Chain A
Amino acid sequence: MTALARSLIKPRVTQVATRDEWLMWGLIALSALWLMIGVVLPLGEIAWRSVSDESGHWVGWANYAKYFGTPALANSFSNSLFVSLVSTLIAVTLAFVYAYALTRTAMHGKSFFRIVAMLPIYAPSVAHAIALVYLFGKKGLVTTGVFGLVPGWDIGLYGATGIILGQVVYCFPQALLILLVGLSLSDARLYEASIALRASSWRTFITVTLPSIKYSLVSAVFVCFTLVFTDFGVAKVVGGNYNVLATDIYKQVIGQQNFMMGATISILLLAPTALAFVVDRLVQRRQMALVTSRAVPLQPKPKRWVDRAAFGFCALIAATFIGLMGVVLYASLVQVWPYQLNLGLRHYNFDLVGGGGLSAYFNSVQIALYTALFGTCAVFGSAYLIEKGRGVRWLRTATYLISMLPMALPGLVIGLAYIFFFNQPTWNILGVVLPNPLNPLYNTMAILVISNIVHFYTVAFLAAMTALKQMDPEFESVAASLHVPFYRTLWLITVPVSLPAILEIAMYFFVNAMVTVSAVIFLYSPEIKLAAVAIVNMEDAGDVASAAAMSALVIVTSIGVRVLYEFVSRGILRRAQAWRSG
């Protein structure tokens, strides 16, 4: 009898379920249901739309054929690939040198450089583009040579150049974060062995450093590629006539109301990111066993010239980032660029321009808070049930896999899928027509919050899983032996012990919900306008100074919340987590 046959017919002994088990299974089912509604069904809907016509009839590959048959549209596919590859190459190279300087040299000011490098995360991608316009645009500081003081330099911003510049800034911090992890997981013993064997520093770099970070490098490349390929904000502002997929979707849906073509382009946008995601997951799995628990961390030794060069490089990058932020702030304060350079708060009065003004800003803050609150609960609860739950293994595995999916979904795709899924008044299930119970959510703040949670779900989910995996798996066993129900242990042990990770997840949700444009641009309603979307619309309408002012508000808010969070969490953690200091 084969092992398979034996396992099929073996009489398994299953434990009887008590009230607690049923409660847990119910909660697992609930989190699976939430992911069905938030991810799987809308995604299925958009896939279906891409192969059907306006009246909902199956048309096969007709939409795709039409897309690639239209030269202007097909062109933007290769444009997207081109800018994504170039931006990724530049961003990852710069981030690698920066990360190397932070981890492997003895230069000064490391903690300062570490913080400044993260600045772009706190701004919408549109804001970087606006900063570029004020520097290199027709009336930009560099183009005009600081308004004629020095010879000007026109770099020809609009088009691929502008997009690449903006995207490099936008994805630099993401690449840096990944590479920092890779480079800090070093084993000093390998370097000592290399020195003992009298290998040159170049040879050490090739044989020790590169192999140990190759997985992080691959990961950084894929993350950057996905970010650039799917970003909408930068291309919208500085793209000029250079079309990319992301702007195409926007034009098709918002401009021409051609939803089917929007769906088709969405699926095209999805393909490379999904591929990148799969490769990344495979690579990540290999990374695990690379560093043993006995590894000795590397302490870089001072080397005068290397340290100076590293400092110079980091200072240049840091100055660029601070400069970009500074330009946005300066431009928002200048009365009339470039004619009246005296400063004032005129542009912060949004009443004279479209976009929603201050109410849009407060909506954004409110939505970011809700996203942080509900997103953190959903992510942590679901991760807890998957990692620490007992029973219904297949459902937990399925929920885990679906939780990975949003990482591969560009925001624009999520937004468009939500239009299709939530906006239709009825559901046609195998010929039975039912009213769509989720339709009332459309045009509410709720759908904006849900789309944000789904958009940023996977990164937060993985952070929660990591925190939970670090906890002793026998906590639950011990609690069960003491007859303590799981929810009590969750509340008394699991949540307090993972509090730093939970706060970090909430922070991540807040900042991203504050700055994101891509998913919500399809979903906001005239009554509920958003700050980041307002930036796009004001820029579109030519009110660039107001767009800069709104950008400044968003940047100051997300950085301000981060700073506030650092102070508060340090206070809370010191008091509530006294046990951490051994």
Chain B
Amino acid sequence: MAMTTPPYLQIQNLTKTFGRFTALGNVSLAVARGEFVCILGPSGCGKTTLLRIVAGLEEQDAGRVIQDNRDISRLPPARRDFGIVFQSYALFPNLTAMENIAYGLRNGKPRADAVNAQVSKLLALVGLSEFARKYPAQLSGGQQQRVALARALALEPGLLLLDEPLSALDARVRAALRGEITALQERLGVTTLMVTHDQTEALTMADRIVVMNQGCIEQVGTPYQIYCEPATPFVADFVGEMNFLSGTVRSERAVLCGPFALNVSHTAMPGSALTLAIRPEDIRVHQELRQSPDMALANVDAVEFLGAYYRLHLRVSAHNHAPDLRLTAHLVHDAAHLAPIAPNTTLPIQLPAHLVRVFEPR
């Protein structure tokens, strides 16, 4: 982003409390024009409150919202420039798909043919031309969601807000709609802010992901950064699966963790404790144990078959009566055939140091 073009949407120091509950604690965020940003977090993390404040549906206690160089902090929703899609779709049940889409267009005294042309265009855009005269109750969940999307885009808003738009749909429809929405967003180039608690949705759809927890932003980054370079243990745990291990610093380049001595970079003093994290799919299974500081023998406690892969529950004995390390590893079929795996057998495993994340205590 060049310095000369300011962000399209700027959220500055937003704070919102409900009684004693802090929904948002000093949240700031910048979104570029045409960008698709997902706000990801567990329920109650403040993500929906953030979206509703951007829409003006909720009044913030403090902070500013600037859209397209205009301070909209104090404008009521009707004076702002956004389209919104809710989890419930909120389609008007007594209007047909066509009338729903035309709802905002018929405001004031527009020409009927202009409205009809625009509605037809939007219906075609979401692939629902033959359902124009159907009522919401006569449409499937996915079709209703597309009508809601077309309605939100009808006034060609500068900002599209999506509040858990796919949560009410079943898995197959959800997967299809994910692709459709991103394709549509890219084609129209409309700046989009989407709230979701579903990490797959965020990872597949977003240009950038904002991970929120307890009213604060934990990390902002591309899907790759969020998954592969999580900034905090919360992000590491919330997005994908993660094994957390406690380690002790031995030297500048070595951290001890049970029988493992891992060559990871850190800034902590020797002797201090820190947290190591490794994803289940990054743990490697070998056929025989080699003499290597990042390898050890693990006991297989249980094996779960998940279709695409096996999930192994592993236990590694530590020295000096320290508690055993417990790990979860994912193994795809090929690797599973490589070493016959059964409960209560032992298995040589490796923790590749370059795939291990280090979290130092703050």
Contacts and interface: CB of A to CB of B under 8 A. Distances in A.
Interface of A: 3, 6-7, 10-18, 20-21, 390, 472, 474-475, 477-485, 488, 492-493, 496-497, 577-582
Given A18-B76, A18-B79, A483-B104, A582 B138 contact: yes
Given A477-B55, A485-B78, A496-B94, 12 more contacts: A11-B61, A12-B62, A15-B74, A20-B78, A474-B86, A474-B90, A477-B84, A478-B90, A482-B103, A483-B155, A485-B107, A578-B135
Most chain A CB atoms below 10 A, which of B63, B90, B151 = B90
Contacts of B183: none
Nearest to A2: B20
Given A477-B57, A581-B137, A3 B19 contact: yes
A11 B62 CA distance: 6
Interface in B138-165: 138, 151-152, 154-155, 157
Contacts of A496: 94
Contacts of B151: 478, 482
B75 interface: yes
Contacts of B84: 477-478, 481
A497 B57 CA distance: 23
Interface string B70-88: 0001111111101110101
B192 interface: no
Given A477-B57, A478-B151, A481-B82, A14 B137 contact: no
Nearest to A483: B78
Interface in B336-357: none
Contacts of A7: 17, 19
A480 B76 contact: yes
Contacts of B127: none
Q: Main secondary structure on chain B at its contact with chain A?
A: loop
Contacts of B60: 13
A554 B255 CA distance: 92
B196 to A, nearest CB: 17
Contacts of A581: 137
B107 to A, nearest CB: 5
Contacts of A3: 17, 19-20
Interface residues of B, number: 42
B76 A481 contact: no
A10 B62 contact: yes
Contacts of A12: 59, 61-62
12 contacts: A14-B74, A18-B76, A477-B57, A478-B151, A481-B78, A481-B83, A482-B104, A484-B107, A485-B107, A493-B94, A497-B94, A582-B135
Contacts of B86: 472, 474, 477-478
Most B CB within 10 A of own CB, among A21, A483, A496: A483
B258 interface: no
Contacts of A497: 92-94
A478 B107 CA distance: 13
A510 B15 CA distance: 51
Given A474-B90, A478-B86, A493-B92, A10 B76 contact: no
B88 A579 contact: no
Top 3 nearest A-B pairs (CB, nearest first) are: A482-B104, A582-B137, A474-B90
A497 B90 CA distance: 13
Contacts of A21: 76
Contacts of A14: 59, 74
A480 B94 CA distance: 18
Interface centre among A10, A390, A482 (most CB of B within 10 A): A482
Contacts of B20: 3
Contacts of B74: 13-16
Contacts of B157: 481
B158 to A, nearest CB: 12
A477 B77 contact: yes
A477 B58 CA distance: 10
B247 interface: no
Given A16-B74, A18-B79, A579-B94, A481 B152 contact: yes
B56 interface: yes
Given A3-B19, A7-B17, A579-B93, A480 B62 contact: no
B61 A481 contact: no
Given A13-B60, A20-B78, A481 B90 contact: no
A22 B327 CA distance: 62
